Amino acid sequence: MPPNAAEIVAPGVHRIRVGRGDTENAFLVEGDDGFTLVDVGWASAPAVITDALAALGDRPTAVRRIMVTHAHPDHVRGLATMRELTGAEVLIHHADAAWLRAGRVPTGGRSGAVGSTLDRLPFMRWTPVTPDRTLDDGELVEGSGLRVVHTPGHTAGHVALHHEPTRTLLIGDAAFHLRGLGLGPATLAHDPDTRPDALAALPTDVAAVGFAHGAPLTGDAVGAFHDFVRATGRSSTS
């Protein structure tokens, strides 16, 4: 398989490796009206995604909407270019919309000093993007089959997206699958202590999980994800 080719996670859900190996992923989801792209990646990602679409026999304009799980540079630095190539509408949770429009994670956007220092570097900035529409918790985005699950903590407006037709959870950065399953570096998160609450809000009967960072889990391997969520997730009422 060529390195740019799309890999099927579930019927109609394609993973695009936009970074080295499993480190960064975007997803193309087939819907009623064309593709929904979930996350983009760094500035090099649009070329990779365009190649993946070509391998599927489609043009960039087959992408009808771009949903970003949150406004961090590794997800949105290629967004302005991708919007231009596709003409797609851009959707993000309302709590991250101001960051997307600002073109950077603002001071205080990360809990730790390492994260804050990183955000001062030029390559962590992106071309500001004004979303066409903002997302709310629980909404089913028409045409996409994707339901929004607000999972704050990594950022205030972080969302996971549940593809209900295939029970595939696109989890963004609410969990990482690099060297095992984890919540990712606390320093990069806006409010790391609330991340376990976010996990408790996720659907519990998913059949596949796509991570922005790490290899997807499908089939029996999803059991490890359910175990991780049970062990790490916390209900805010408990």
Rule CB under 5 A: is residue 74 a binding residue for Zn ion? yes
Q: Which is nearer to Zn ion, 178 or 207 (CB)?
A: 178
We find the least distance from the C-beta atom of residue 59 to Zn ion, in angstroms, to be 27
Relative orientation angle of helices 79-86 and 45-55, to the nearest 10 degrees: 40
Q: Which is nearer to Zn ion, 131 or 145 (CB)?
A: 131
Rule CB under 5 A: is residue 96 a binding residue for Zn ion? no
Rule CB under 5 A: is residue 39 a binding residue for Zn ion? no
Q: Which is nearer to Zn ion, 34 or 189 (CB)?
A: 189
Give the E-state strand segments of the chain in sequence order. 7-10, 13-17, 25-31, 34-38, 63-67, 89-93, 133-135, 140-141, 146-150, 159-163, 168-170, 176-177, 181-182, 208-210, 217-218
Gap between the Cα atoms of 141 and 152, Å rounded: 19
**Closest chain position to Zn ion (CB):** 72
Tell me which of 53, 173, 195, 206 binds Zn ion, using CB under 5 A: 173
User: For binding to Zn ion (CB under 5 A), which residues are involved?
Assistant: 72, 74, 173, 212
